Chain A
Amino acid sequence: MSPWTNLSRVIRPGALILLAVLLTGAAAAQAAKEKYFDRSGTLVVVETPAAELLRAYEVKNLPRGETFPVPPPPFSEGIFPCSDCHAGMTPNLARRQLTDEHTDIVLNHAEGQRWCLDCHNPEDRDTLRLVSGEVIGFNESYRLCGQCHGDKYRDWRQGLHGKRTGYWNGDKQYLLCAHCHNPHDPRFKPLTPLPPPLRPEEIKL
């Protein structure tokens, strides 16, 4: 599918026109002379300096594969590997109120339909398990989230949802869903805003 077929979804035609202008302008722009008038009103045409200073676009955004470079998953202090405690325990699949451990976890994420062992692998707590039965590491948890949040997963892969850091035309890091959202209680928590700008009358020169 060509990228242009999707463009019809842009609600403001202006964006489309602008993009067309940008794309056609690109090839021509590089050869163009710069013209302007100086203080005395003389027309100045600059040809060489800008051109000789131009550099090539060396690093392209390559189409991404299906694995993404992510920083280490955000575990609570001292809790991983889970097998330290769980290795000798028989998994209890019953949905219940936890009273001994993990009592601080409040499940506020479609809690009516979901239970710990839907995501955490009962056989090996150091891993996660997809609905398909495939076992994955915590560093691939985006695949787990993507099972239900397909639209967000697609946006995240393209860099439209969530935060990428690194270089705009080079290596990037993708934050995992769990870096911003607590998987057990995913709604983003409110923040204290930084101070508003001063009003003009408060500014002293």
Chain B
Amino acid sequence: MNDGKKRDKKVFQLTRRKALKSLAAGAAVLALPSRDAAASVWDAFFQKHFRRMTRSDLEKVLARLEREYSQEYAQEVKVGVTPPIEGVKYGYGLDLSRCIGCRRCVYGCVEENNQSRDPQIHWIRVVRLKKEKGTDLHYAEHYYNPSQVPEPGHFYMPIQCQQCEKPPCTKVCPVQATWTEKDGIVVVDYNWCIGCRYCMAACPYGARHFNWAKPRIPNDSLNPQTHYLGNRPRPVGVVEKCTYCIQRTRQQPGRYPACLEACPVGARKFGNLLDPESEIRKLIENKRVYILKEELNTQPKFFYFF
């Protein structure tokens, strides 16, 4: 049995949640990995919070993860920690009058970000709305399946993490496993998350997703270029979400998010809110902008326009 599998068996039965529970019950010893468990199990268990790790801590963790993923998926997997770019705050724009609801973005995202194919996880949900009802979400339907889109009398609104300036999800996390990075991206440390799902309850956009089972990704569809806080394969029992493709957009020069590249009608726009020449600023300055659930004061950095 390789390290990765061992970890599944041992650590994932022994989640932090369970360990904490048994610690509280004074029976920690019973729940701890047995003596024959691989060293990496212990390393993973005692790993520090992402933001408390020093460079050398981080390097060890990344090396361990790369080794495990590479073994599990039978190919060389890279795990990066590319930091934010100074002077950048990412913003996303989506043209409601162009989106045809074809869901190309959904599947582009699944492939880029190594989402579980089975059980299925989609970070982007496209809802269909009735033109006569406007953006009233009571009429939102995301299981629509006509033979062709767009359909008369309807328009479509893809919803994903809005990377709120005031995110309710990060506030409620009891272990600070999720936070906002300097470039405005809300991230999760999957090794620190205890899977309590408070953040899911707090997110008004349904943008967080829980791994009820170990995510299944066929070896040949794994995207091996990953980021620690983004698209690396997730363990069972943690929450995950859209990170504006942190592994692509933090490159220098920065690539566009995968959903933007997948969209056949060019409805998706992306750029730096602090750069007056970027398309996201032009859009806010020249278009009619709509913000989802604005009344909640979450201050999304995702702008719908038309």
Residues of A within 8 A of B (CB): 3, 6-7, 9-12, 14-15, 17-19, 21-23, 26, 29-30, 34, 36-39, 44, 46, 49-50, 53-63, 155, 158-171, 175, 180, 188, 190-199, 203-205
Residues of B within 8 A of A (CB): 49, 51-55, 81, 83-89, 95, 100-104, 106-107, 119-120, 122, 125, 142-150, 165, 175-176, 179, 182, 184, 212-213, 249, 252-256, 261, 263-266, 269-279, 281-291, 294, 299-301, 303
Known: A6-B286, A193-B103. A170 touches B253 (CB 8 A): yes
CA distance A170 to B55 in the complex (A): 29
Q: Is the CB of B254 within 8 A of A158?
A: no
Q: Is the CB of B272 within 8 A of A14?
A: no
For B83, the chain A residues whose CB sits under 8 A away are: 50, 53-55
Question: Closest B-chain residue to A50, C-beta based?
Answer: B182
Between-chain CB contacts (< 8 Å), 8 pairs: A12-B294, A26-B87, A36-B51, A159-B269, A161-B266, A190-B100, A196-B103, A197-B125
Name the distance in Å between B306's Cβ and chain A's nearest Cβ: 10
CA distance A34 to B179 in the complex (A): 10
Known: A55-B85, A180-B265. A169 touches B275 (CB 8 A): yes
Question: Closest B-chain residue to A34, C-beta based?
Answer: B51
Question: Closest A-chain residue to B120, C-beta based?
Answer: A198
Name the distance in Å between A106's Cβ and chain B's nearest Cβ: 20
For A190, the chain B residues whose CB sits under 8 A away are: 100, 148-150
CA distance A3 to B280 in the complex (A): 13
Q: Is the CB of A192 within 8 A of B147?
A: yes
Q: Is the CB of A15 within 8 A of B88?
A: no
For A155, the chain B residues whose CB sits under 8 A away are: 286
CA distance A191 to B303 in the complex (A): 25
Q: Is the CB of A18 within 8 A of B299?
A: yes
* Leading 10 A-B pairs by shortest Cβ distance: A170-B253, A163-B266, A53-B83, A159-B279, A167-B253, A61-B277, A57-B87, A190-B148, A194-B103, A36-B176
Query: Which of the residues A44, A166, A168, A175 comes within 8 Å of B266, measured between beta carbons?
Result: A175
Q: Is the CB of A193 within 8 A of B146?
A: yes
For B146, the chain A residues whose CB sits under 8 A away are: 193
